[in-house]
Chain A
């Protein structure tokens, strides 16, 4: 026996996944080889033993989902963050309450204090006197400085703006030129193409027309010629008939003429004969 199943065939056969010719070959092999049959039996025995391991009953499914969904919700970072913020706020409030923290904002002053607020009197610092003109001078000076700074910055920005506008203009005009050129090139090309397509179409149309008309003319002329030939033939036959009838008429005439002359002759002969008789009677 040439066929010898490999382990893949063995496994497939054991679990009923071998099909068609393969299965037949395997069965033939098993029939012919007692050793193989024993091997198969051993496998089947093993499977029977394995069958004694039964499924364990288990009930859990609904719990799994709901449990995990809950855990899932509590585990979300958003929930955790909100919870932690709430907790820290609570702590802050508690600590604040216990230590008597006071926070106050008045004017430009932010005050954070523990315990009671001690009222402090605002003491006006004794400032060295400044004359009005000094103040005026200071104001003027700072105004001037401001003005100068403003002007320089204004000029700078103007220059920058100019430069940028110029460069932009240059760049844009170049681009526009290019675009226009491209457009014109494109349009020339397009027109050429269009014209050529038009020409092609026209020639096509004319060609078709000519072909059509030529064939039609040909037909017409053919018809005409045929008609003409027919007409000529008719004419000829008509003429021939006419000639024949005239000839017949002529014949008849001559016949009549002959008869008439004969009659005349006979009459003449008879008259001549009568005269002779008369003469003889006399």
Chain B
């Protein structure tokens, strides 16, 4: 993950967090600005659904603003925030399971075929021709991610895409560091197998990387 200005700002946001903790609404707004993209992308990869991701992100930041005063250690803000997000993701996943018992394939196909968002998002790329394949691969990977169990998915997303340390993930999930590493191991293993099944290997996509 290349460091952007946003990432740098996120790394030096301790004073902002401290001010937000004291109830400064400007600082809270700034924190939301800084972290919204991260939390949204985390939940998006978790659900592969824009609406659910928005829902979870909004709930996460509302909860953040309300409960920030109770945060003990500013250095732990990151894992604290992801903890909230993970909890909301699990809650939404439970609701989803309860309300609509559609199989994953049905949901995915419907989204892929009917969703106007899907089309608009691919139009955003500058060079549609070359980006199309890239987008395709990323879609396949996202789908593969989604096929992992919830436990493995959380860990893989937090490690690979959110760049949390194993220690931080352990803090977020309240489990031991070794358990996190085990889940990561099985998650990567699962991804490998899923991709092999889809016949995606180094040789088939090598020219793209």
Contacts and interface: CB of A to CB of B under 8 A. Distances in A.
Interface string B160-174: 110001100000000
Contact of A68 (B25, B58, B181, B205): B58
A122 interface: no
The B interface, classified by DSSP as helix, strand, loop or mixed, is helix
A55 B134 CA distance: 13
Nearest to B145: A53
B97 interface: no
A56 B137 contact: no
Q: Is the interface on chain B under 10, 10 to 19, 20 to 34, or 35 or more residues?
A: 35 or more
Interface in A1-49: 7-8, 10-12, 15, 17, 42-43, 45-49
Nearest to B201: A45
A58 interface: yes
A49 B137 contact: yes
B96 interface: no
Given A10-B185, A11-B185, A53-B161, A46 B192 contact: yes
Nearest to A71: B62
A64 B209 contact: no
B166 A49 contact: no
Interface in B3-29: 25, 28-29
A53 to B, nearest CB: 4
A50 interface: yes
Given A15-B159, A52-B138, A58-B36, A43 B61 contact: no
A52 B166 CA distance: 22
Interface stretch (B37-45, B70-78, B84-92): B37-45
B32 interface: yes
Nearest to B41: A55
Contact of A46 (B159, B161, B188): B188
A14 B67 CA distance: 35
B57 interface: yes
Main secondary structure of the interface of A (DSSP, over half): helix
Interface in A73-97: none
A65 interface: yes
Contacts of B121: 56
Contacts of A58: 36-37, 40-41, 54, 57
Contacts of A53: 45, 138, 141-142, 145, 161
Nearest to A63: B58
A15 to B, nearest CB: 7
A56 B50 CA distance: 10
B184 A61 contact: no
A56 B36 CA distance: 11
Contacts of B166: 11-12, 15, 17
Contacts of A48: 209
B195 interface: yes
Contact of A7 (B25, B57, B134, B185): B185
B179 to A, nearest CB: 10
Contacts of B81: none
B202 A45 contact: yes
A48 B145 CA distance: 14
Interface of A: 7-8, 10-12, 15, 17, 42-43, 45-50, 52-58, 60-62, 64-65, 68
List of 8 A-B pairs having minimum Cβ-Cβ separation, nearest first = A7-B185, A11-B181, A61-B32, A8-B181, A52-B138, A53-B138, A61-B36, A58-B40
